[in-house]
Amino acid sequence: MNSAPESLAPCAVQEEKSRGRQFPEPPPAYRGEYQRDRDRIIHSTAFRRLVYKTQVFVNHEGDLYRTRLTHSLEVAQIARTVARALGLNETLVEAISLAHDLGHTPFGHAGQDALNKCMQDFGGFEHNLQSLRVVDELEAKYADFPGLNLTWETREGILKHCSKRNARNLGDLGKRFLNRHQPSLEAQLVNLADAIAYNNHDVDDGFRAGLLTLDQLCEQPLFRQHYDDVHRSWPKLEDRRLIYEIIRRMIDHVVTDLIDNTSAVIALLSPVDINAVRKYEKPMVGFSEPVKEMHGALKQFLHENLYRHNRVCSMNEKTKSMIDLLFGRYMADPDEMPTSFSEQENASDADRARVVADYIAGMTDRFAAAEHKRLAAK
């Protein structure tokens, strides 16, 4: 059964032309294949853990900050709106959006950097590749196959970036990185929906935390433009409400631009099918130049003023020492991990390190902190 709307664009992913699943399965009776992917993602353990994983602010810093789960829901919301407007496969973009951060470590990017350092001699650690590993191998839920056995198209969308070295080990899925081909429009879209979501919610969270001020934000052209409009209409609006109103307008502004610009690009290039999308020299989904510039400037601003803020960085230092200790201890004594991870007879150092990395990457912030406390006291 095909769940795709009738108005699907010819260059969208067509479910009946899917490259299928690694382990063939009979089609679902009342759902489409991408609906089934989405449902498997929602039922996965890794998805439930996202609620206790840091986006920027560590989970215990406050109840109102974004977590990886709420971030993923915001990405899905934005991506679905755009997909529907452009006639792209909405169910597929939802599945990719909900899965795109499944491979993230505890403690946000600091956690990933720390784990990557620990894994330097063993092939490194990269959260994108880990998201794929989660859905391909680590979720042990089905009797017939390892992982979630998702369709090729969902897996393609999850693997946003990949080094050439890793791409060579990924068979068909890695080919596009070697051939410099583009992914589906649905995958391109989720990539931008991700950036739209974090650019906006990080302004909100950064302001809430007192790390970003209104004066600073007003130096950003995108913010300033909407600040002026809102301020003109409601000069006495309290700050919190003002910020919400501005963010709401910024999201609408960039999403509308993304739809208008992409739709113009598609009309101009008129790709006959997804192969034309893949072979084009650059992604077809994108902002207009002025919005690309403002959106990029805001992203840069957040890098400099929020992600590298002293308070965020001091947390990052703590994170690094926690991950270092966990990694060292589990490597030295695998029995400190549950038996499903510790039973590795005759495994090489690299194999053992990968298992340790899988175990640590799967942890929530609070579980990692509790494990750190337990092992540090030994």
> Torsions phi, psi of 7, nearest 5?
-85, 20
CA distances from 72 to 48, 190, 236, 246 (A): 12, 10, 34, 21
Q: Which is nearer to Mg ion, 73 or 276 (CB)?
A: 73
Which span sits near Mg ion by CB under 5 A: 30-38, 101-109, 179-187, 361-369? 101-109
Q: How many residues bind Mg ion (CB under 5 A)?
A: 2
Q: Which is nearer to Mg ion, 15 or 94 (CB)?
A: 94
Nearest distance in Å: CB 224, Mg ion: 26
Q: Give the tokens for residue 333.
A: 């004594």
Nearest distance in Å: CB 101, Mg ion: 5
Q: Which is nearer to Mg ion, 194 or 365 (CB)?
A: 194
- Give the dihedral sign, CA 157/161/162/168: positive
Nearest distance in Å: CB 71, Mg ion: 6
Which span sits near Mg ion by CB under 5 A: 186-194, 233-241, 265-273, 366-374? 186-194
Nearest distance in Å: CB 196, Mg ion: 11
Q: Which is nearer to Mg ion, 199 or 305 (CB)?
A: 199
List binders of Mg ion among 29-48 (CB under 5 A): none
Q: Which is nearer to Mg ion, 99 or 277 (CB)?
A: 99
Nearest distance in Å: CB 15, Mg ion: 25
Q: What is the DSSP letter of 69?
A: H
Q: Which is nearer to Mg ion, 97 or 149 (CB)?
A: 97
Which span sits near Mg ion by CB under 5 A: 187-195, 204-212, 226-234, 275-283? 187-195
> Torsions phi, psi of 245, nearest 5?
-65, -40
280, with CB counted inside 10 A (0-12, 13-18, 19+), is: middle
- Give the dihedral sign, CA 331/110/80/65: positive
Question: Which region, left, alpha or beta, applies to residue 363 given φ > 0 means left and ψ of -120 to 50 means alpha?
Answer: beta
Nearest distance in Å: CB 32, Mg ion: 24
94 binds Mg ion (CB under 5 A): no
Q: Which is nearer to Mg ion, 52 or 330 (CB)?
A: 52
| Cβ burial 282-315 (10 Å sphere, 16+ → b, else e) | ebbbbbeeebbebbeebeebbeebbbebeebeeb
Distance CA 84, CA 7 (A): 9
Residue of minimal CB distance from Mg ion? 194
List binders of Mg ion among 188-227 (CB under 5 A): 194
Helices 185-208 and 239-269, packing angle to 10 deg: 170
- Give the one residue of 33, 101, 202, 205 binding Mg ion; rule: CB under 5 A: 101
> Do the beta carbons of residue 190 and residue 90 sit within 8 Å?
no
Binding site for Mg ion (CB under 5 A): 101, 194
